[in-house]
Structure 1
Amino acid sequence: MPRGLVKAKKYDWKDSNLALFGSDTEKQVKKESAEAEPAWQGVGQEPGIKIWRIVNFEVVDWPEEEYGEFYNGDSYIVLKTTKDADSDKLLYDAHFWIGKNSTQDEYGTVAYKTVELDTFLDDAAIQHREVQGHESSLFKSYFSGGITTMQGGADSGFRHVTPEEYEARLLRFKGQKKDIAVREIPRARSLVKSCDVYILDLGDMIYQWNGSECNKDEKFKAMQYLVDLKGKRGSADSETLDEDSTSSSHKFYAALDEEAEEDESDDEDDGDSKKLLKYSADSDSFETVKDSDITMDDFAPEDVFLLDTEWEVFVWVGSGASPSEKNNGIPRAHKYLQGEPKAWRPITVIKEGQTSSSFAAAASA
């Protein structure tokens, strides 16, 4: 069965220049476009989460039963609405999620539409950019069952078909405690490691394979996933395998008949250094102003700043900044990260007066 449309090369999205942002045309039509977008009608009226996927430049509802499941060839918008405990005011976090194989066009569209959603909400949202495999802690907290990433685009997915029509897929469970990453990988024997747990989904038969060095959290997460998957599937059988007691001739290994793709791993999300940069209209770029002892006193209301923490990037927009400086936090941070080794880091854009616990922690000395 075909996997769907062939996506562009890995990290194609990183080369996007987001040129539409900040243009005269964009400024003129943004509000009108936001009010006319059918997907935004009625959103943000009560606490909860809403997810959309970008399909042919359009914003399309993502099924609630698949919240937390993302395809690496697609881009999504996630709106989290909460209520302030003291004032009952509704607060918004608007995220867009980029699959590693999402195209430049999809990246540009999802970024633009997220800003448009913020405009529809009268600029009340905190904007976030998330990249597959390197999501912020805030984004991960929305999905109690964790995030599952699968290969291909959603149109090549596995919903609404009988088990016999499924194409085999291999899911890896890796992590500790509540931070277990679930990711579809090629069905290659060389990718199956003793330190992790895997589920091989053959449609009418599902195997859970526990590596000899895996941890109990990975086992438990895989077991939960397996039970849920069987519930959705209906007629599928399952078997749990332990590496040390499973014959090399078992059907599990026979189904691992694909070749391993190039290593998709990135640099580890480590490092604890940070630096503060200020936006310069003259150079249309951020320039470093401080690399130690950063506090909130360093953020002047008349300017726009970028706080680089090594694992996340924040753009802080002062209330007294000029209109041209206030716009385009996401594309400016994206441009900045294009010159950095960890271009996939989360981006958060905060307007002065908005509350963000992660930014407050990062801006503390």
Structure 2
Amino acid sequence: MFELISLFDDKAIIHREIEYFESSLFLSYFPCFGIFRNGLKSAFDKEKAKEYKPRLLHFKLIGKKVEFREAPCSKKALDKGDVFILDRGLSLTQWNGANCDQEERVKARKYIETLVKNRQGKIQVEFYDEEDLLPENEFTKQLSDEDVPQRPKKVPFPKSMHRLSDESGQIKLTPVYSGKAYRAGINSEDVTFINAPSGLFVYIGPTASPKERASAWSEANKYLKATNHPYGPLILLHAGETSFELSDVWDDGLDVGLEH
């Protein structure tokens, strides 16, 4: 990673995103964020429609946006608070959970409309509301009874700041603030970790040593692995660069960028 950063003359903001723990900034790039399994090889091909393997898509409102992710084709994957689409290639079925959000219904329906248009064929489309169905129905009959892995969840934690320095001759990470984050905690001669629910921000001071710069990314990963939120977003930036997400983290009431 250090070599990659060097290619950009230390002028690039580097982001790391992990599935289920994506930052709000990353998700904002997509009108409707979605994840499929098995890549393009599993995509629908109208010439091989009968060979298409069914997919169960889980539509969920996260904050103010709806995202969808492929789920196991099992009854146990269903959640009455969300919307699901069973995609069988030539047939599409939307299942609306009893407690689902209206926005989830709308996004799922629009997605079905897009599939019907893209597949350019006679696609059978059905819509079901959970409360109108018997426990055993045409939709659930197409799903297995297999157990499904639990969806990873984000855990709350307090903000904190740490300083990464080699002043002693060895790379050491020392706490600066706990529960709060202030710009005063930044030392321009070192690397600063600002840990917040929106991500771990790694700020490289303008006069940080080559050793501190080279170890910043690996030390940040090591730090996260030791917490109860090891998969959160990781953002590396340098002096003079602005991160709007980081601007919302500070507790000192200032709205300017980092100019140390």
In structure 2, the residue matched to 1:187 is 73
Matched, 1:202 2:202: no
1:343-354 maps to which residues of 2 (within 5 A)?
343-354=230-241
The 1-side partners of 2:7 and 2:44 are apart by 32
The one of 102, 112, 117 aligned to 1:226: 112
1:163 partnered with 2:49? yes
Instruction: Say which one has the larger Rg.
Output: 2
Cα distance change on mapping 1:142 and 1:260 into 2, 3 Å = same
1:43-101 residue CA offsets vs partner (Å, 9 max, x unmatched):
xxxxxxxxxxxxxxxxxxxxxxxxxxxxxxxxxxxxxxxxxxxxxxxxxxxxxxxxxxx
- Once the two structures are superposed, residues 264-312 of structure 1 have per-residue CA deviations (whole angstroms, 9 ceiling, x without a partner) of 323x3434x2111011334534221222553212212111010111442
Change (3 A) 1:315 1:279: same
Contact 1:186-1:258 within 8 A present in 2 as well: no
Residue matched to 2:39: 154
Residues 234 and 355 (structure 1), Cα distance of their counterparts in 2 relative to 1, 3 Å cut = same
Say whether the 8 Å CA contact 1:169–1:201 is kept in structure 2: yes
2:19 partner letter: Q
SS in 2 for 1:363: coil
User: Could you tell me which residue of structure 2 aligns to residue 260 of structure 1?
Assistant: 147
- Counterpart pick for 1:291 among 167, 173, 178: 178
Unaligned runs of 5+ in 2: 253-260
Provide the rounded CA distance (Å) in 1 between the counterparts of 2:234 and 2:140. Answer: 40
2:53 touches 2:88 (CA, 8 Å); kept in 1? yes
Match of 1:79 in 2: none
Greater relative contact order structure (CA < 8 Å, 6+ sep): 2
- Aligned partners of 1:325 and 1:315: how far apart in 2? 11
User: What amino acid is the match of 1:336?
Assistant: Y
Q: CA deviation at 1:251?
A: 2.8
Structure 1 residue runs of 4 or more that deviate by more than 6 Å after TM superposition: none
> Match of 1:216?
102
Q: How many residues align?
A: 248
Contact 2:56 2:72 in 1 (8 A): yes
| Maintained 8 Å contact 1:286/1:306 | no
Cα drift, residue 258 of structure 1: 5.0
Question: Structure 2 vs 1, CA of residues 119 and 231 (structure 1 numbering), >3 Å: closer, same or farther?
Answer: farther
Offset at residue 184 of structure 1 (A): 1.0
Aligned to 2:160: 275
CA distances 1:295-338 after superposition (whole Å, capped 9, x unpaired): 21221211101011144211000001111212243322111111
Among residues 121, 128, 134, which one is paired with 2:21 in the alignment?
134
Counterparts of 2:100 and 2:81, CA distance in 1: 4
Q: What is the rounded CA distance, in whole Å, between the counterparts of 1:219 and 1:183 in structure 2?
A: 15
Distance change (3 Å), C-alpha of 1:122 and 1:163? farther
Percent of residue pairs bearing the same amino acid type: 28
Q: 1:168 to 1:348 in 2, by over 3 A?
A: same
Instruction: Specify which of 128, 131, 151 is matched with residue 244 of structure 1.
Output: 131
Distance 1:269 1:175, change over 3 A: farther
Deviation for aligned residue 1:164 = 2.0
What is the letter of the counterpart of residue 317 of structure 1?
Answer: I
Partner of residue 84, structure 1: none
Amino acid at match of 2:165: S
Q: Matches of 2:63 and 2:181 in 1, distance apart?
A: 32
What secondary structure does 1:306 align onto? strand
RMSD: 2.1
Once the two structures are superposed, the pairs formed by residues 1-365 of structure 1 within 5 Å of their partners are 30=3, 116=4, 118-145=5-32, 147-151=33-37, 153-154=38-39, 156-160=41-45, 162-175=48-61, 178-235=64-121, 236-257=123-144, 259-266=146-153, 268-271=154-157, 273-281=158-166, 282-365=169-252
Q: CA deviation at 1:233?
A: 1.7
* TM superposition shift of 1:178: 3.4
